[in-house]
A and B are shown apart, each in its own frame.
Chain A
Amino acid sequence: MKRAAPTETGQVGRSVPRLESWLKVTGRAEYVHNLRLPGMLYGKIFRSTVSHGRIKRIDVSAAQAVAGVYRVVTSKEIRQLVPEPYYGPAFHDQPILAIDKVRYVGEPVAVVLASDPHVAEEAAHLITAEYEPLPAVYDEVEAMTSKAIVHDELRPAGTFPDLKHLKGKKNTNVALDFHLRRGDAAKALESAHKVFEHRFHTQQVMHTPLEPLVSVAECTEDSLTLHTASQSPSFVRIEIARLLGWPENRVRVRVPFLGGGFGAKLYIKLEALVAVLSLLARRPVKVSLTMEEQFFTITKHATTFRIKSGVDGGGRIVARECEVWWNGGAYADIGPRVTQKSGFTAPGPYDIAHVAVDSYALYTNLPPAGALRGFGIPQLVWAYESHTDMMARELGLDPLEFRRKNLLLDGATHATGTVLRDAATGKVLERLAALMDWQKPFERGTAGLRRGRGIAIGLKACVAPTTSLAAVSVNVDGAVTVYCGTVDMGQGSDTAMAQIAAQVLGVAAESVKVVHSDTDVTPYDMATLGSRSLFHMGNAVKLAAEDARDKVAAVKKEAGFPADASLKDVFKKKYGMQAGSVLGQASFVPTYTSPDANGLTDNATPFWMVGASGVELEVDTETGQVRITRLVNVADVGTPINPRIVETQLAGAAIMQLGFTLSEKMEFDAEGQLRNASLAEYKIPGFHDLPASMVNEAVDAEQRSGPFGAKGVGETATFGVSPAIANAIHDAVGVRIMSLPLTPEIIFMKMQEKP
């Protein structure tokens, strides 16, 4: 891994060990999972056992009678406090507890409160409910036209400016449909030299952070504190205040460390529930999910992607049609944003004159889908990079050559109409080719163990528009404190922000204190998601540190002191005591232009992420089992703030994506019941799943608008892993698999189909 040469005064570009290292290796890091408050009640959720039905009756009497049960709550009690208890970032479609209907197996219907969680759990088993079953729909394409309608009426929220235009619709399962038109793809396809059309699928999976979702609420008569494992504390505050009809400053949201997030801990998950329960009970309430319950709370969209491309005689792609159906489950969550913001990258990092994208967010009777590391990009890259290889093979072109011929380079115009700036697509592809020794002939193995290799490259646009505010204080003794709402879920944000502030203020990064998100203290931040924080909050912290630095200089000058005077002396003279601090603050909101009616805009995003992967593998031809011998990940992350953390983010994202590619799948039966809601049956990568060899590299690049040239990295290595593996399998045994996961059985069975 290339690292910047360490300098004595350099704080950025240095692999500073994480600030919270001691806490994490001694088991003393704070997680909401650990939180216990005096008088606290535990809430255990009773969940729906049908995938779609009207609630006829809920009988809580047996549960209520159990010794030690404080109270059993249904939506009836919720509505006494909050008459319209619906939440969500895109639609206010999700009830705190089910009202009138249940829309997926596992939907929360009632909660038992008790001071002993075992008692709460035992009592929850005694609740019974009767449902009148309704026709259900599970497939995203079927949901487009199905008579089974999940929501009788849709209610758009206005929280995010780019979702405001959503209009409430009836009699439909389509929560959002996004369209992009550049040129005339239909016409160009008609006259193309050759046309290729393929259909790809991805499966529903779950983030399974090892700290399962958890929230605690404690209230006074007119205020509420939420201790919650959340990546979006500011959003939580706004949404809870809205639900309660309170001013925002009466809701406090604090977040310590997260035991993993990956997008699961966003927007509202358990916060509204514990808030209302706490107000009803007048005691602190904790709802802490089991690993199993997470599967019934938030997941990743399964997708179907129809992609059609036309090429000219020289192998250039001249037109592309993309139709993507996103399976959003029973509640929209942030699905509409995925549909739109990732939807517009469906054509891929390719220079195509005529493009049409139709991207649909669908409601189905499955657990809700939302944000998961990559935010829809991995599903799109899966399709377009498999498609790219299929076209290359049929045209008799080398997969690398074909990509070179069509790659959208820095400075060229993307399908949205936005010019690519500081997106090192060419460099990333070339570095990958070099690391893969692509020019060299490849050893093919034996009949029993066939070897193959494959590559893939993907592109993501950072979500926009978003706002970050930060404050930096310089204490009279020179100690620096950073206040920002970014949440450290393992991606190293505390350390990065400390490095940035330290670089500006000329102190050691290790000496900077980073105050964790607390909405009473840290200013507004959109959220920690989509690899946005290093760029947005990093810029805000940089500006706030510069503001503090300038203010320190000004106060010295104004008091008649030289620039190198100590603040102690200055304050002593100015205020009569050598105590105090200087507070700098700043906001950072990059420019953005909303897309027009054709989905086009010249400023779609403040920065692009580019990630490519190359794979070498062996296929056991008697069983279809795959062994990855080499995995190479190359990324454009700008100039790394912390090279070691960048390397671990690339490796971590790629290994996580391996799980989604080879073994993870939520398996449902015909009634929408999940059959594998536990780590015993839903298999995530462990040590024995690692590729024999892994290389992770960030190319030499600079994001000029980023803090010290940096930009986000958390998701980048998820992009190319899945299609690179499918391409390598095809290279090895000549079978093409169009859906994930790539299990041994599917590979083996497909091999038997070959003539």
Chain B
Amino acid sequence: MAPFELLEPKSLSEALALLDADDARPLSGGTALMLMMKAGVLRPARLVSLSRLGLEKIERGPAGELRIGAMASLRKLETSEVVRAGWPVISRALLRLSNVRVRNVARLGGHLAHGDPHTDLPPLLSALGAQAQISGPRGERSIPVESLYSGYLETTLQRGELITRVDVPAMGKRRAAYLKCTTRSADDWPAVGVAVVLDGERQTIVVSAATDRPTRLASADAADALPIESDLHGSAAYKKQLVRVYVKRAIHEARSAD
């Protein structure tokens, strides 16, 4: 790994100031970042740690929404009673997300900002209508999690911007399911990830992994129109079949969810 300077700001404004530079990157959990730095893919001169900014809270907001601090670990999210009680689909999805050690260290903000389509929370949070609170050099803004993604490993975050919190609306009468399909060993990055949220007659279906970003399906039959390419997880034709099947199964599972 190339040497770098580690900075540990104690306030959000200090962190944002440090990040408004080309050669600085934020360090949240560091799981994905460390992999890319070890592989030589990323060689930042400076890493800005976000661990002292107090962004770890998981709590209910005034409108009954779930407020997840960007620095909440995936493991804390998985074991949170608040989440289990109000958004059990998230707890269930986290069970098969990587492994316990990774979840102990990985943070929600980093997980979302990485932009890797072969991850589980982006499609699920998109389907649940979650909002990302973002802070940056030009102030704060709030966008749907779905709008974070512009391509493979590409997000709409501008230079110096950080996700500080993710808000997930209360489930209400909605029912949801997330299914992850792996095609190599059982424990693997998803080849296809499907999130379904049912709200009365309305179906929200978001597909990821087979697509280069979380992609909303207009209807359950719209899988064939998806821009899917062949890769190590499978050919385009096969992945289309998987999307068709898993959309159907996710809808079925959502119907019987609590």
* B256 CB within 8 Å of chain A: no
Of A676, A687, A743, the residue contacting B183 (CB under 8 A) is: A743
* A667 CB within 8 Å of chain B: yes
* B225 CB within 8 Å of chain A: no
Q: B184 and A623: CB pair below 8 A?
A: no
A676-703 vs B, CB cutoff 8 Å, 1 = contact: the mask equals 1000110111111100000000000000
* A118 CB within 8 Å of chain B: yes
Q: A683 and B185: CB pair below 8 A?
A: yes
Q: B186 and A125: CB pair below 8 A?
A: no
Q: B1 and A118: CB pair below 8 A?
A: yes
Of A623, A659, A685, the residue contacting B242 (CB under 8 A) is: A623
Nearest to B185 among chain A residues (CB) is A683
Q: What separation, in Å, do the CA atoms of A687 and B1 have in the docked complex?
A: 31
* A622 CB within 8 Å of chain B: yes
* B245 CB within 8 Å of chain A: yes
Q: A659 and B185: CB pair below 8 A?
A: yes
Supposing A125-B40, A675-B232, A749-B238 touch, asked if A623 and B185 sit within 8 A by C-beta, the answer is: no
Which residues of the other chain, B, contact A688 by a CB distance below 8 angstroms? Answer: 185-187
Which residues of the other chain, B, contact A115 by a CB distance below 8 angstroms? Answer: none
- Tell me the chain B residues, 136-192 only, with Cβ under 8 Å from chain A: 181, 183-189
* B11 CB within 8 Å of chain A: no
Q: What separation, in Å, do the CA atoms of A118 and B1 have in the docked complex?
A: 6
A421-443 vs B, CB cutoff 8 Å, 1 = contact: the mask equals 00000000000000000000000
Interface residues of A, count at CB 8 A = 27
Q: B235 and A745: CB pair below 8 A?
A: yes
* A748 CB within 8 Å of chain B: yes
* A520 CB within 8 Å of chain B: no
Which residues of the other chain, A, contact B3 by a CB distance below 8 angstroms? Answer: 118
Which residues of the other chain, A, contact B181 by a CB distance below 8 angstroms? Answer: 623
B191 to chain A, nearest CB (A): 9
* A663 CB within 8 Å of chain B: yes
* A744 CB within 8 Å of chain B: yes
How many contacts between A and B, using CB within 8 angstroms? 48
Supposing A623-B242, A743-B183, A748-B241 touch, asked if A681 and B232 sit within 8 A by C-beta, the answer is: yes
* B129 CB within 8 Å of chain A: no
Nearest to A667 among chain B residues (CB) is B232
A722-747 vs B, CB cutoff 8 Å, 1 = contact: the mask equals 00000000000000000000011100
Indicate the member of A623, A663, A680 with the most B CB atoms within 10 Å: A623
Q: What separation, in Å, do the CA atoms of A266 and B161 have in the docked complex?
A: 52
Nearest to B238 among chain A residues (CB) is A745
B189 to chain A, nearest CB (A): 8
Which residues of the other chain, B, contact A685 by a CB distance below 8 angstroms? Answer: 185
Q: A686 and B232: CB pair below 8 A?
A: no
Q: What separation, in Å, do the CA atoms of A622 and B179 have in the docked complex?
A: 15
Which residues of the other chain, B, contact A122 by a CB distance below 8 angstroms? Answer: 2
- Tell me the chain B residues, 227-249 only, with Cβ under 8 Å from chain A: 232, 234-235, 237-238, 241-242, 245
Q: What separation, in Å, do the CA atoms of A683 and B1 have in the docked complex?
A: 25
Q: B232 and A744: CB pair below 8 A?
A: no
A617 to chain B, nearest CB (A): 14
Q: What separation, in Å, do the CA atoms of A623 and B181 have in the docked complex?
A: 10
Which residues of the other chain, B, contact A687 by a CB distance below 8 angstroms? Answer: 187
Of A121, A623, A676, A749, the residue contacting B232 (CB under 8 A) is: A676
Q: What separation, in Å, do the CA atoms of A23 and B145 have in the docked complex?
A: 50
- Tell me the chain A residues, 67-83 only, with Cβ under 8 Å from chain B: none
Which residues of the other chain, A, contact B189 by a CB distance below 8 angstroms? Answer: 680
B187 to chain A, nearest CB (A): 5
A114-153 vs B, CB cutoff 8 Å, 1 = contact: the mask equals 0000100110010000000000000000000000000000
Indicate the member of B181, B184, B186, B241 with the most A CB atoms within 10 Å: B184
B53-68 vs A, CB cutoff 8 Å, 1 = contact: the mask equals 0000000000000000
B1-38 vs A, CB cutoff 8 Å, 1 = contact: the mask equals 11100000000000000000000000000000000000
Q: What separation, in Å, do the CA atoms of A614 and B185 have in the docked complex?
A: 21
Q: What separation, in Å, do the CA atoms of A634 and B183 have in the docked complex?
A: 29
Q: What separation, in Å, do the CA atoms of A410 and B126 have in the docked complex?
A: 65
Nearest to A292 among chain B residues (CB) is B39
Q: What separation, in Å, do the CA atoms of A748 and B2 have in the docked complex?
A: 45
B104 to chain A, nearest CB (A): 18
Which residues of the other chain, B, contact A680 by a CB distance below 8 angstroms? Answer: 189
Nearest to A659 among chain B residues (CB) is B185
Nearest to A745 among chain B residues (CB) is B238
Q: B234 and A745: CB pair below 8 A?
A: yes
Which residues of the other chain, A, contact B234 by a CB distance below 8 angstroms? Answer: 745
Nearest to B183 among chain A residues (CB) is A744
Which residues of the other chain, A, contact B184 by a CB distance below 8 angstroms? Answer: 663, 683, 743
Q: A683 and B241: CB pair below 8 A?
A: no
A650-678 vs B, CB cutoff 8 Å, 1 = contact: the mask equals 00000000010011000100000001100
Of B1, B187, B245, the residue contacting A622 (CB under 8 A) is: B245
Which residues of the other chain, B, contact A744 by a CB distance below 8 angstroms? Answer: 183
Q: B185 and A684: CB pair below 8 A?
A: yes
Q: What separation, in Å, do the CA atoms of A743 and B191 have in the docked complex?
A: 13
A725 to chain B, nearest CB (A): 15
A507 to chain B, nearest CB (A): 44
Q: What separation, in Å, do the CA atoms of A676 and B234 have in the docked complex?
A: 14
- Tell me the chain A residues, 103-122 only, with Cβ under 8 Å from chain B: 118, 121-122
Which residues of the other chain, B, contact A118 by a CB distance below 8 angstroms? Answer: 1, 3
Q: What separation, in Å, do the CA atoms of A681 and B188 have in the docked complex?
A: 8
Which residues of the other chain, A, contact B241 by a CB distance below 8 angstroms? Answer: 622-623, 748
Nearest to A744 among chain B residues (CB) is B183
- Tell me the chain B residues, 33-49 only, with Cβ under 8 Å from chain A: 40
Which residues of the other chain, A, contact B188 by a CB distance below 8 angstroms? Answer: 683
Which residues of the other chain, B, contact A662 by a CB distance below 8 angstroms? Answer: 185
Q: What separation, in Å, do the CA atoms of A749 and B235 have in the docked complex?
A: 10
Supposing A122-B2, A622-B245 touch, asked if A663 and B238 sit within 8 A by C-beta, the answer is: no
Residues of A within 8 A of B (CB): 118, 121-122, 125, 622-623, 625, 659, 662-663, 667, 675-676, 680-681, 683-689, 743-745, 748-749
Between-chain CB contacts (< 8 Å), 29 pairs: A125-B40, A622-B245, A623-B181, A623-B241, A623-B242, A625-B183, A662-B185, A663-B184, A663-B185, A676-B232, A681-B232, A683-B184, A683-B187, A683-B188, A685-B185, A686-B185, A688-B185, A688-B187, A689-B186, A689-B187, A743-B184, A744-B183, A745-B183, A745-B235, A745-B238, A748-B238, A748-B241, A749-B237, A749-B238
Residues of B within 8 A of A (CB): 1-3, 40, 181, 183-189, 232, 234-235, 237-238, 241-242, 245
Given contacts A684-B185, A743-B183, 7 further A-B contacts (CB under 8 A): A118-B3, A121-B1, A622-B245, A623-B245, A680-B189, A681-B232, A743-B184
8 closest residue pairs by CB, A with B: A688-B186, A683-B185, A683-B184, A745-B238, A663-B184, A622-B245, A663-B185, A686-B187
